[in-house]
Structure 1
Amino acid sequence: MTAKYVGAGDLKLAGVWSHFARADEPGHPANAAQRSSYEEALAVVTDSGMKPEVRHLSNSAATLVDPAARYDLVRTGIALYGLSPDPTTLGNGAKFDLRPAMSLTARLLLVKDVPAGVAVSYGGTAITKRATTVGVVPMGYADGVPRHGSNLLVVGFDGRIVPVLGRICMDQFVIDLGPNSNAKAGDEVTLFGNDGPSVDAWASASGTINYEIVTRLGPRVLREYR
């Protein structure tokens, strides 16, 4: 039926596409099987007299590791962020000459000196082991900072990597700036990217994937394109 209308000029076959399920596992037999099924579907289409404008099958992983599966068009998702589809099975983005394209920053809302033995944030899950300076970062899980990263994430500040203290709240979290810090409200904190931790490090600490870290940022987060 489709071939009839395409042949009559009433419809245009814009494309034939599918999507790899396990392209981030190079060599897995499912990839060859899926590509074979796709080729069979293409044959059915062309044998009926139709010619798709574009044929596309590859996501980021397939685009990077399987040139023969690129056809006419590729759909790069995470690679547009300069990140590897799976750092564990494929290696990090640098292996493919990718450069991270996103960084996330905020400015300290409050800086405070605290003694040892102070419970920090909800539930008191972090207690200061020494006198130190803490800073409040005005971003939280409502903005896309993963709550599972409580007490596990790190951020960049003043050329150093410093830890998150306590539970991440809806709109803010606390970082340990170290004893006798000269930090002040308004100073910039790099949550990830540039001189901060990598997106992959945040994902690993939060028990998730880098895709989720870069796509979950909420509408309150200001975007700047450079």
Structure 2
Amino acid sequence: MTLTTATAVIDRQALVDNFNRVKTFAPKAKVLAVLKANGYGHGLERIARALPQADAFGVARLDEALALRAAGVVKPIVLLEGFFTEQDLPILAVNNLQTIVHNRQQLDALTRTQLEKPLKVWLKIDTGMHRLGINPEDFDDFYQALSASDNVDPDIVLMSHLGCADDKENPVTNSQLALFEQLTASYNNEKSLANSAGSYAWPQTRYDWIRPGLILYGVSPMAAPEQSAQSLGIKPVMTLQSSLIAVRALKAGEAVGYGAAWVSSEDTTIGVIAIGYGDGYPRHAGNGTPVLVNGRRVPLVGRVSMDMITVDLGKDSRDEVGDLAILWGQGLPVEEIALHATTIPYELLCNITRRVQIEVV
């Protein structure tokens, strides 16, 4: 008997295949691969090393960018939230980091400081998502101020972010696209609008740079269930798995777990799997959430504990202690688990905790 603790298996070839698949959506565009939040839980440095064909990497914050530089990554790196303080700017210059500018405070700091060399800037316009970005009416003023500054590389990238691209029927994307085109049509700068969903579903948004994130990791960015990862031609990069650590008979009418939240309606066999919310498995996954045990689907029953979950193996079960259980990934889409847990795949992938073992294949 060999027991396996909670393990995230990272498939590098699947990642490369997904990257190549995304390239087929926009073969002429450059790719800024998004690695924020520890590479969506897959490992920041690990993912960067596995994608040397990316044209640049996108991270949220300065510490992520510096971690990549410390790991020997020399590709262009873009701070997707921009810099936070004026004191960050010399660090960006020394480490050859690029920054988004999305507010007046950043513009003022960048134009008044003294830098040894200019920074590459991506100017972000709010075209309707109303999160980050300058107001459309301020675009010309910001662009002229950046262009006049010795601290700014003259090749400014113009960008915005799509808020509803996961829904092909939502008119917001066309409205955002129209505004972005209206504002930037007379500029010859490189442009970037497409995120994962835009890269796949909205050809007009692809421009010079696409910024795929979730789709690289083998998860569909689309809202419609029929637009699954498989239908998009992408593969899961992470398979979260563990093993059965107990198998026991349960009689009809007996309960399982905290609060006696699930009671068996018939004689059955219960399996206990060594994984829980302490590993990042969603605590709110409900009864019936599928788990793969020996390749077949069985339902989660009872409440998710910190270190364990229980599944109904069925009265005719032949499963044994040590048998493999897959929580999501190969054969079981993380999107499906997210639906059962009333959350999104992003959260599940990013919530993998430090005690989960990593196996790279």
Q: Pick the TM interval, shorter chain.
A: 0.7 to 0.9
Query: Which one-letter code corresponds to 2:152 in the other structure?
Result: L
Q: Secondary structure at the match of 2:357?
A: coil
Q: 2:208 maps to what in 1? A: 72
Distance 2:295 2:243 in 1: 15
> Are the counterparts in 2 of residues 24 and 89 from structure 1 also a CA contact under 8 Å?
no
Residues 89, 40 of structure 1: alpha-carbon distance in 2 compared, 3 angstrom cutoff: farther
Q: Does 1:216 align with 2:351?
A: yes
Q: Does 1:174 align with 2:346?
A: no
- Residue-by-residue CA offset, 1:103-151 (whole Å, 9 max, x unaligned): 2110122222232222100110111223322121111122221222131
Q: 2:81 maps to what in 1? A: none
Q: 1:4 maps to what in 2? A: 148
Q: Does 1:23 align with 2:165?
A: yes
- Residue-by-residue CA offset, 1:165-224 (whole Å, 9 max, x unaligned): 1011122111112225333322111112324x3222212222222332323222222222
Q: Which range moved further: 74-83 or 33-42?
A: 33-42
Q: Secondary structure at the match of 1:109?
A: strand
Q: 1:14 deviation in Å? A: 4.7
Distance 1:119 1:157 in 2: 21
Distance 1:85 1:10 in 2: 37
> Are the counterparts in 1 of residues 222 and 228 from structure 2 also a CA contact under 8 Å?
yes
> Are the counterparts in 2 of residues 153 and 205 from structure 1 also a CA contact under 8 Å?
yes
Q: 2:32 maps to what in 1? A: none
Q: Secondary structure at the match of 2:168?
A: coil
> Are the counterparts in 1 of residues 166 and 223 from structure 2 also a CA contact under 8 Å?
no
- Residue-by-residue CA offset, 1:17-67 (whole Å, 9 max, x unaligned): 2100111122433212212222244357x3xxxx64x42111111110122
Q: Percent identity?
A: 33
Q: How many residues get paired?
A: 216
Q: Does 1:133 align with 2:274?
A: no
Distance 1:14 1:225 in 2: 38
Query: Which one-letter code corresponds to 1:202 in the other structure?
Result: I
What CA RMSD, in Å, does the superposition of the two structures yield over aligned residues? 2.2
Q: Does 1:55 align with 2:191?
A: yes
From 342, 345, 349, the equivalent of 1:207 is 342
Q: Secondary structure at the match of 1:224?
A: strand
Q: 1:91 maps to what in 2? A: 227
Q: 2:103 maps to what in 1? A: none
Residues 146, 31 of structure 1: alpha-carbon distance in 2 compared, 3 angstrom cutoff: same
Q: Does 1:225 align with 2:354?
A: no
Q: Which runs of 5+ in 2 are unaligned?
A: 1-144
Distance 1:169 1:209 in 2: 20
Higher RCO (Cα < 8 Å, 6 or more apart): 2
Q: 1:157 maps to what in 2? A: 293
When normalised by structure 1's length, the TM-score is 0.85
From 177, 186, 202, the equivalent of 1:35 is 177
Query: Which one-letter code corresponds to 2:148 in the other structure?
Result: K
Query: Which runs of structure 1 show a deviation greater than 4 angstroms over 4 or more consecutive aligned residues?
Result: none
Distance 1:164 1:89 in 2: 22
Residues 125, 209 of structure 1: alpha-carbon distance in 2 compared, 3 angstrom cutoff: same
Distance 1:56 1:110 in 2: 52
Distance 2:226 2:168 in 1: 8
Residues 158, 89 of structure 1: alpha-carbon distance in 2 compared, 3 angstrom cutoff: closer
Residues 29, 154 of structure 1: alpha-carbon distance in 2 compared, 3 angstrom cutoff: closer
Q: Secondary structure at the match of 2:253?
A: coil
Distance 2:272 2:261 in 1: 16
> Are the counterparts in 2 of residues 25 and 89 from structure 1 also a CA contact under 8 Å?
no
Query: Which one-letter code corresponds to 2:180 in the other structure?
Result: Y
Q: Secondary structure at the match of 2:339?
A: helix
> Are the counterparts in 1 of residues 167 and 224 from structure 2 also a CA contact under 8 Å?
no
